[in-house]
A = this chain, B = another copy of it.
Amino acid sequence: MDCENKKPLESIDMEAPEFKDFAKSMVDYIANYLENIRDRPVLPSVTPGYLRPLIPENAPDKPENWTDVMADIERVIMPGVTHWHSPRFHAYFPTANSYPAIVADMLSGAIACIGFTWIASPACTELEVVMLDWLGKMIGLPEEFLACSGGKAGGVIQGTASEATLVALLGAKAKTIQRVKAEHPDWDDNTIVSKLIAYSSNQAHSSVERAGLLGGVRMRSLKADDNLQLRGETLEEAIKKDLDEGLIPFYAVATLGTTNTCAFDRLDELGPVGNRHNVWIHVDAAYAGSAFICPEYRPLMKGIETADSFNFNPHKWMLVNFDCSAMWLKDPNWVVNAFNVDPLYLKHDQQGSAPDYRHWQIPLGRRFRALKLWFVLRLYGVENLQTHIRRHIGFANQFEESCKKDERFEIFSKVQMGLVCFRLKGANEISEALLKRINGRGKIHLVPSKVNDTYFLRMAVCSRFTRPEDMDISWNEVSEAATEVLKEQKK
């Protein structure tokens, strides 16, 4: 060793004691932010481009003090934050946020391993395998989806439901190409792909249509019935028509809890149709799937044993921070083998005896996300998570009751889970004016949707801080805005 090597290196990193002060100050900030989130305006009033003038044009050459960075959170960031965890936030669907998940992510950031293979950090892969078994059992998934059944099946954490839909589509595509090639050895891949046809309800999420675009296959949007549920006979008719025209049906998405109205496709009908016609059935239960931890909601997933893949987002309604989209596959090999590119620098001695999750997903790298599932399940316990779900559903019913008692309003579709779809009676324009008025007043935040040309407002229960009195505040806000709008209409 050279003498020179013994000279102490000048430190360029934040030192541990400073980190502790900084991180603990952030812990206090976070607790204060969340416990008082109710008091902030839920929707920011900034306009596009607000942030750039608030900070320098270039990164600093020399390090700044962490206290200056802390101070800038309220000055620069918070004025532009939409507070998704405020009880006043009723837009989209919930995204999760809990103390146990935040702490777990801190640990994940410290270990900061990349779990692309088993050997790259065995704990990262193995905890994920077991957590997906825990979770699968909690929602009553049939054994043939679980790793503990001893077969090839199992679960994986994807980043988002969009990715799960795409991964399942690509697996179905690979499976079908192989089957068709065996029947028609003279057809090349392009010929087969040009004949492939996938299906979803016209109520499916926009990411389903997008998966078709990304996967380079045609996707047929099928008409849901009057209850906004996709029915088996509709799928069967479409498949038969397409078969008659020489197309190859290969993939169908059944949505349990649509984004528009939280409608549930009839999986019990769609599954058998798919199974009969070699069509891969993927179940997208992104939001509503969390409710299946309560046995009383499991009838809504009737037919699950007929599915090939199932997906829901604990990062939506089960208090596990984004990103944690749980997906199970009965036979992951279709996905694994479709995109298996295996260079020497990623090979290891234990290949085959544990999953190498890089083959199960679109990206190569992956964080240690199973930790937050583990922390949340243990620090809430199943019973408290069930209470969380039931409470949100109760809040939706509370809002529905208020709405029903007011004759100016109508409920658009059956209230399911934590979502109420409602509108002012009459022309769409009145409800459009109502939404504009509500968001303009800035006390609560909602987004609209439109089905069969009817415009309505979506009130989603989103926050874990919500209490019955918050729902009353939200209802009163809607009611007052309606009074204003209707008064103006009369002018």
Contact = CB atoms under 8 A, between A and B. Distances in A.
Of A46, A120, A130, the most chain B CB neighbours within 10 A belong to: A130
What is the total number of copies of this protein in its complex? 2
Contacts of A35: 16
Interface string A295-332: 00000000000000000000100000111000000000
A214 B114 contact: no
A170 interface: yes
A260 B345 CA distance: 8
A212 to B, nearest CB: 10
A121 interface: yes
Interface stretch (A94-102, A247-255, A410-418, A477-485): A94-102
Given A31-B20, A51-B130, A387-B12, A380 B103 contact: no
A344 B450 contact: yes
Contacts of A19: 27, 31, 99, 102-103
Nearest to A464: B13
B110 A102 contact: yes
A137 B134 CA distance: 47
Nearest to A170: B214
A142 interface: no
A134 B51 contact: no
Interface string A17-38: 0111011101111110111000
A251 B107 CA distance: 40
28 contacts: A1-B472, A12-B385, A13-B99, A19-B99, A23-B24, A24-B27, A27-B106, A30-B107, A30-B110, A52-B129, A59-B138, A59-B382, A69-B375, A79-B123, A80-B123, A82-B120, A82-B122, A83-B113, A84-B111, A84-B112, A84-B114, A95-B114, A102-B109, A102-B110, A159-B159, A160-B363, A163-B362, A206-B346
